[in-house]
Structures are given as structure tokens and as C-alpha cells.
Amino acid sequence: MLFCTKFRFSVSCRFAGHIIPLGGMFMDKFTIQTCPLCGGVELERTLTCIDHYASGEVFHLCRCRDCGFLMTQDFPPENEIGRYYETPDYISHSDTRKGMVNSLYHYVRTYMLKRKARLVMREAHCNEGCLLDVGTGTGYFADMMRRQGWQVEAVEKNAGARDFAKQHFGLDVKPETALGDYEAGSFGVITLWHVMEHLEYLNETWETLNRLLNERGVLIVAVPNCLSYDARHYGAYWAAYDVPRHLWHFTPDTMQRFGAKHGFILAERYPMPFDAFYISMLTEKYMHRSCPFLRGLINGTLAWFSALVKKERSSSMIYVFRKKKSGGPAAV
């Protein structure tokens, strides 16, 4: 889900732009010089990953020596990164059912939409209200919540995905610039389903979310977990690194610290064990191994059992944040 926008705040980390020749073209890329989580300047190269999905280009992951936060280095800026999503196979924007792996994705999504709706209502302690879905993609979740009786606002940068949501669900999905038009405290629930890892201006986004959420509201964020069983198993091939579309690579600890930095308390976290099956199958495909579906099914099952033992090993995690109360604890 593409949602990279520049808000009118100071930048979240210091970038040094430079020009890199690529296939006869010249392209701007950003080098991160300071960690957006702690401000540290000691960034060490940790992994080298390939964009198997669209371009075949190589990108490096760097880790902050001070806090351990992992990030994609030398990524394309907002005005260039769109081409890395321009493939009919990018499921969050195209809704493709091409291939067995994407067919499985749709099957699991139908099941997970119901679970997500129940989770929202349980954590919000109500069955209706005002909800903002950031990076809504083709609009499936927004439509689900609207049919449950919620007043839903949705934003999405990709015009094609917005058109799909309009044509299939009648949703009036707004461009990302609409975030600046909402009044403070407008929403009781804000959701970002696999969106935070795409956002170029990370700290500014957290501040915007804090502004838009009401005092009793709940912020729900789902992101891949780079400490998961499948991430450790596949290393640099892990499909959820998804460079350069994924700029940031979170762990349970770094997610909690980002929330605390911006006035949130981590109230709960939930595993997303089904993601391990899709990610493992996709990774096996990228590795050009025989029987990628079967191999991915086996490794996804192992990852499932690992997450049952310790949910922090889940392929992806859902984090539930609430606003800090005045004088309250920094985190729980």
C-alpha cells in the first residue's frame, strides 16, 4: 500500500540526496544520515537485498548501532518511487488473482477482514464510530467497516487503487493530502494495515496520527516483523523486506519505542501468523526453488508453530496504541 507523502513539518531524519545512474537514466536517491527513532548517526550496513518484485535492483539495509532500528538505505524519493509499484502483480493496488500465491492471499484476506473488524470493535469498546483507514489500497477493509455501521474515511495515494475502491465499493477514497484537512481529534479509530513501512516521513506521520486521534481513541498498526521466524530463516531473501517499497523494518521493541516517542502507550499486540505462509511462498518463488508453494507451506507451518510459542516471532504483528494520559507511564 503506497502512502508516502511530505507533511508540513520538519523532516524526521536527515537525508543526503545524490544521483545514481541506472540503466541509462539518472535517478535521485536518499541516503539516511541519522536514525529516525533515536537520532543516532552510527548506521552500519547489515543486509543486501534485491528487489525481486519489480526492478531487480540491489538495496542495502542499515541498522542503527544505538537503538537497533533497521532501515533501507539509498531509497528513491517520493517523486521516483512510484515506478517500483508499477506492476500488475502488486496486489494492494491491482487486486490481481494471478497465480496460486495471490489466489491464496485473497482467500486468507476474506477471513482476516472479519478478524480485523472484530479486533477494531473489541479494542475500541464500541460497535460504531468514526474510523480513518490510512493507505486503504483497493478498499476492502474500509468497505467491511462501513458495512458494519462505521462512519469511514479512507485515504490512498495510488489513483488506480482509489478508482477500484470507487467502482467496486462506492467508496470516496481521498488522496493523501486530505489528512491535512481533518480536524484534530476527528477519529475514534485510525488503522494502518501494512502501510507504516512505506512512509517516507515517518515521525511526521506519527505526529499527524496523534493529532487526528481523539483522546479515548485507538491507533491500530500492522507491520512485518523482521525478528520473525521466517525473517531469520530466509535472511536477505525474505520477501517482506520488499525493498525499496518498504523503507523501514520494525520489531516489537522499535514499534513500541516509536509510539512512546510520539505520545502513545502500547496497549496490546497480536500476531498475524497467516502472513508467514504468503511471505514464505513468495520468498521461495524469488529464490527460484522447485515447488515453491509446497516449500512455502512447510516453512509457513513452522513459522506458525513458532508464533504459537512466542507471538513476537510472528511474521507480522498488529500493534494497538492509545494516547498517553497526562502524567501517565511512558509505555506498557
Predicted confidence (pLDDT) per residue in 282-298, tens digit:
999 999 999 999 999 99
Higher pLDDT pick, 144 / 17: 144
- Output the pLDDT for position 332: 38
Q: What is the pLDDT of residues 163-181, one digit of tens each?
A: 999 999 999 999 999 999 9
Centre a 10 Å sphere on the Cβ of residue 16 and count the other Cβ atoms it contains.
Answer: 10
- The predicted model gives 181-207 an average pLDDT of 97
- Output the pLDDT for position 18: 46
Give the least confident one: 39-53, 71-85, 181-195, 237-251.
71-85
Whether this prediction's pTM lies above 0.85 is answered by yes
- Output the pLDDT for position 22: 43
- Output the pLDDT for position 96: 53
Query: Closest by alpha carbon to 220, among 135, 306, 282?
Result: 135
Residue 115 has pLDDT above 80, yes or no: yes
> Where are the chain's structural domains?
88-323
The structural architecture, per CATH, of the domain 88-323 is 3-Layer(aba) Sandwich (3.40)
Output DSSP code: residue 89.
Answer: T
- CA torsion 63→69→72→75, rounded to 10°? -110
CA dist., res. 213 & res. 312, Å (int)? 26
The percent of residues in the chain predicted with pLDDT above 70, rounded, is 83
CA dist., res. 249 & res. 260, Å (int)? 17
- Provide the pairing of β-strand 25-32 with 15-22: antiparallel
